């Protein structure tokens, strides 16, 4: 029924894989999130800091878009992080409306420590796998990464 000979003809199966991958990602992160308590930072602050640390210098607006919150929300989040000594900001000399935001050394190391805790736990789980199982995960990573970082604008028309 679903096995027509189109170029990529396995729609039902794809939906299955999507359902399972989605659910697995949720459960995986829910479990790793427990480690974040040790950082002393709230989820929103940790997440915003992470975008700045890994993405390098950004503007407040970019950060708000990345975190899917409104500018006033990010404005306060950043203010809190600056007060905590984890970020610093200054106006862009070429366009003095924009806030150029970067992480401080303290911010980077705090975030790195937290991420290391999450990754350490996941590493332990992976080390317990049989060789073939581990290879299956490792082999799927390139593709999963590509899907994960795909442009939100779905296919049809480029922006």
Partner DNA sequence: ATGATTACTTAGCCAAGCTAACTAAATTTC
Partner DNA sequence: GAAATTTAGTTAGCTTGGCTAAGTAATCAT
- Asked if residue 93 binds a second copy (CB under 8 A), the reply is no
Contact positions with DNA (CB under 7 A) in 4-43: 42
CB 101 within 8 A of CB 87: yes
The DSSP bridge partners found for residue 101 are 58, 89
Quote the least distance from Cβ 26 to a second copy, whole Å: 7
CB 38 within 8 A of CB 28: no
CB 82 within 8 A of CB 74: no
- Asked if residue 71 binds DNA (CB under 7 A), the reply is yes
CB 67 within 8 A of CB 42: no
Q: Which of 85, 64, 93, 92 is nearest to 76 (CA)?
A: 64
- Asked if residue 104 binds DNA (CB under 7 A), the reply is no
- Asked if residue 29 binds a second copy (CB under 8 A), the reply is yes
Contacts with a second copy by CB under 8 A lie at 8, 10-11, 13-15, 17-34, 68, 115, 118-129, 131, 133-134, 136-141, 143-145, 147-150, 152, 154-155
Contacts with DNA by CB under 7 A lie at 42, 44-45, 59-62, 67-73, 75-78, 80, 94-99
């Amino acid at each position: 029924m679903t096995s027509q000979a189109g170029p990529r003809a396995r729609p039902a199966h794809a939906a299955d894989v999507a359902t399972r991958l989605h659910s697995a990602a949720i459960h995986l992160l829910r479990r790793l999130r427990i480690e974040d308590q040790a950082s002393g930072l709230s989820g929103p602050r940790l997440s915003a800091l992470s975008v700045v640390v890994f993405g390098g210098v950004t503007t407040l607006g970019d950060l708000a878009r990345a975190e899917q919150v409104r500018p006033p929300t990010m404005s306060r989040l950043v203010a809190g992080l600056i007060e905590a000594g984890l970020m610093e900001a200054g106006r862009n000399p070429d366009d003095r409306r924009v806030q150029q935001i970067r992480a401080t050394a303290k911010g980077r190391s705090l975030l790195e420590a937290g991420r290391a805790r999450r990754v350490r736990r996941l590493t332990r789980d992976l080390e317990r796998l049989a060789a073939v199982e581990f290879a299956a995960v490792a082999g799927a990573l390139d593709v999963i990464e590509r899907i994960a970082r795909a442009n939100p604008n779905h296919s049809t028309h480029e922006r």
